[in-house]
Amino acid sequence: MTAADLPDWRLSLPWPGQDAHKHARGRLGVVSGEATQTGAARLAARAGLRIGAGVVRILCPPDAAMVIAPAIEAIMLSPFRSTDALIALAEGMDAVVIGPAAGITAATRANVEALAGTGAALVVDADGLTVFEDRPGDLFDVLDPDDVLTPHEGEFKRLFPDLLDLGREAAAGAAARRSGAVVVLKGAATVIAAPDGRLAVNGNGVRWLATAGSGDVLAGMIGGLMAQRMNSFDAARAAVWMHAEAARGFGPGLIAEDLPDRLPAVLAALYPQTG
């Protein structure tokens, strides 16, 4: 890969300085589902850690803690019993991922709305989107321009049922304006749109990403870059591109668990060369 081949967002990638410490590199939270639905959060958390967030913590219902604890090492774990407890845990976090296998429940809806008031930038994915299907305006009302929505086409239709007929690019742009957040419309050519009109189409899509859990990894990657204070639109563009490059480097037989551990090679190719 030559310098000319590298995308423009590489200039804003958050590389650590010589005096960096873990808290300076950003704090990411990932909300888990119940005990039988913890894999998605673990995938997202590992991806956030691999992409450089200094501290990653899974926030989970109490019944999930004993399932998650034996399956993590550098990732931290904090159970919560109420929305108020979740808000307290999210204080001081730079970004939070919510939605992967969170459950299509009133609790998930309440947790999304509560986290939106904490100051952390949100990545809302999967169940965190679907739970607002009947009242998408309730979600849009609490979002900020720094927040990111990551729907596939089915989830997109639930929130924006009138837009896909415009075509994917126009639909993503209109959705970003309507929601007031960055929208990542996933697919073979993922479209990333910001509410201020910026729009990008990812050109390096890989067929091997058509596997369960790959979207959870992407959500964690976006959240990990946002936790490091990368602009949300650039974080989404960068994560989508690196997600595909990680899959390309693995090839046939890829499963979602393989993706985070491919990220060091992708990051190394992007690291500025000196001398």
Question: Is 4 inside a domain boundary?
Answer: no
| Residues of the chain above pLDDT 90, percent | 95
Q: Please tell me the distance from the alpha carbon of residue 84 to that of residue 102, in angstroms, as a whole number.
A: 17
Enter the pTM of the model: 0.97
Question: Is 270 inside a domain boundary?
Answer: no
CA nearest to 146, candidates 199, 97, 194: 194
Average pLDDT over every residue of 85-107: 97
Mapped onto helix, strand or coil, the DSSP state of residue 183 is: strand
Average pLDDT over every residue of 6-26: 92
Question: Is 20 inside a domain boundary?
Answer: no
The pLDDT value recorded for residue 7 is 83
Position 273 confidence tier, pLDDT thresholds 50, 70, 90: confident
**Residue 9: how many CB atoms within 10 A of its CB?**
21
The pLDDT value recorded for residue 5 is 59
DSSP, residue by residue, 100-149: TT--SSHHHHHHHHHHTTSS-EEEE-THHHHTTTT-HHHHHTT--TT-EE
CATH assignment at residue 159: 3.40.1190.20
Question: Is 228 inside a domain boundary?
Answer: yes
Question: Is 272 inside a domain boundary?
Answer: no
Average pLDDT over every residue of 135-163: 98
Q: For residue 203, what are the domain limits?
A: 25-258
- Residue 270: what are its φ and ψ, rounded to 5°? -95, -15
Burial string for 165-182 (b: 16+ CB within 10 Å, else e) reads eeebeebbbbbbebbebb
Question: Is 33 inside a domain boundary?
Answer: yes
Average pLDDT over every residue of 229-253: 98
Question: Is 267 inside a domain boundary?
Answer: no
For residue 107, pLDDT beyond 70 = yes
Q: How many domains does the chain have?
A: 1
Question: Is 263 inside a domain boundary?
Answer: no
The pLDDT value recorded for residue 6 is 67
Position 99 confidence tier, pLDDT thresholds 50, 70, 90: very high
